[in-house]
């Protein structure tokens, strides 16, 4: 007779714990994040001479690589040797417009065994 009561108590406790586990997400939902924690852009350190695909030069600037698709963009900084956009003709902060430079084909890379 005691064995039957013990089994019922243990099964009831297990059922209660399973109920708590099942209801926890409903009572305290986990916050979701649409963005991943990994960056999608690689900004080349230093400055590089930015050239259009036709060969004409835009001057020095920063090179940015989109790691999702391999696109390479150049952001001219206008002033020679500057790490950020500079326009000495006005007192407003300048905005550097991206220039498409090409693409790295990441899918062509094979893992070496």
Q: Among candidates 38, 49, 40, 42, which has minimal Cα distance to 65?
A: 42
- Is the residue at 60 inside a domain? yes
Q: Check residue 2 and give its pLDDT.
A: 63
Let me know if residue 23 belongs to a domain.
no
Does residue 9 belong to any structural domain of this protein?
Answer: no
Query: Does residue 64 carry a pLDDT above 90?
Result: yes
Q: Are 59 and 52 in contact (CB under 8 A)?
A: no
Q: How confident is the model at residue 113 (pLDDT cuts 50, 70, 90)?
A: low
In angstroms, the CA 40 to CA 66 distance is 6
Domain range holding 78? 41-104
94 within a domain of the structure (yes/no): yes
Whether 90 maps to a domain, the answer reads: yes
Ramachandran region, residue 106 (left: φ > 0; alpha: ψ -120 to 50; beta: rest): alpha
Q: What is the pLDDT of residue 50?
A: 86
Is residue 1 predicted with pLDDT exceeding 60? Answer: no
Q: Picking from 20-24, 47-51, 55-59, 101-105, which range would have the lowest pLDDT averaged per residue?
A: 55-59
Residues 6+ apart with CB under 8 A from 87: 78, 79, 94
Whether 33 is covered by a domain: the verdict is no
Q: 63: pLDDT confidence band, cut at 50, 70 and 90? A: very high
**Stretch 46-64: mean pLDDT, rounded?**
84
Question: Considering the domain boundaries, does residue 99 fall inside one?
Answer: yes
By percentage, how much of the chain surpasses pLDDT 70?
93
Assigned domain for 70 exists: yes
Q: pLDDT of 9-31, one tens digit each?
A: 999 999 999 999 999 888 888 88
């Amino acid at each position: 007779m005691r064995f039957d009561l013990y089994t019922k108590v243990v099964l009831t406790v297990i059922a209660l714990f399973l109920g708590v586990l099942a209801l926890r997400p409903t009572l305290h939902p986990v916050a979701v994040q649409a963005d991943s924690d990994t960056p999608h852009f690689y900004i080349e350190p230093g400055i590089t001479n930015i050239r259009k695909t036709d060969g004409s030069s835009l001057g020095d600037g920063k090179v940015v690589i989109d790691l999702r698709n391999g696109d390479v963009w150049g952001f001219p900084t206008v002033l020679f040797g500057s790490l950020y956009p500079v326009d000495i003709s006005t007192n407003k902060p300048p905005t550097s417009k991206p220039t498409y430079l090409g693409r790295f084909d990441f899918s062509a890379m094979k893992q070496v065994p």
